[in-house]
Amino acid sequence: MEWLEASTENCPVQRTLDVVGEKWTLLILRDAVNGVRRFDDFRRHIGLSEAVLSNRLRKLTSAGILKTAPYQEPGSRARNEYRLTRKGWDLWPVLMALTQWGEAYAVGPEDRLLDVRHSDCDAPVRVVVECSAEHSTLTPAEVTARLGPGAVRRRP
């Protein structure tokens, strides 16, 4: 069976996009990675409606990407903050890859919003695909993709 004959119903890219593939969702994740926790801060910083933000936060929470933590300002009612879970933090390389691509092709490195560097040596951080055995950086020409055990024939 070849790629075009395989069903994509269980494709990990498709399943991931079902959860995080909307523009606003990725921007919420971007802000959460950068320390935004509170509903009003997300709303002000991203500039989206309360209804859309509520929907996206609910979706991310039910997917286990964000968790809520109660807080209360003096004189105000109790509210929830939104914090990334381990599952949420595992999306950080995806956000970094989007940032890296955007700096190269959408805004340019001179227009970087953030300058992300390694804390120990101050070198810029970049996302790469590497061989898990040799830890060498790979190009698409050096990779072979085969159908995995979950591949099933596409229905006509």
What gap in Å lies between CA 134 and CA 128, rounded to an integer?
14
- Identity (one letter) of the amino acid at 40? D
**Contact assessment for residue 153 and residue 5, using Cβ atoms and an 8 Å cutoff:** yes
The residue-averaged pLDDT of 74-89 equals 95
**Contact assessment for residue 10 and residue 156, using Cβ atoms and an 8 Å cutoff:** no
Q: What is the residue-averaged pLDDT of the chain?
A: 94
The residue-averaged pLDDT of 100-114 equals 88
Q: What are phi and psi of 99, to 5 degrees?
A: -65, -45
- Cα 141 to the chain's mean position, in Å? 26
For residue 156, the model assigns a pLDDT of 81
Residues 6+ apart with CB under 8 A from 37: 81, 82, 83
Is the pLDDT at 108 greater than 80, yes or no? no
User: How confident is the model over 16-69, as pLDDT tens digits?
Assistant: 999 999 999 999 999 999 999 999 999 999 999 999 999 999 999 999 999 999
User: How confident is the model over 146-155, as pLDDT tens digits?
Assistant: 999 999 999 8
The residue-averaged pLDDT of 122-135 equals 95
Comparing 1 with 121, which gets the higher pLDDT? Answer: 121
pTM attached to this predicted model: 0.89
The residue-averaged pLDDT of 91-119 equals 92
The domain limits of the chain are 3-142
Report the candidate in 146, 12, 9, 147 with the shortest Cα–Cα distance to residue 91. Answer: 12
* CATH class of the domain comprising 3-142: mainly alpha
For residue 129, the model assigns a pLDDT of 95
- Identity (one letter) of the amino acid at 46? I
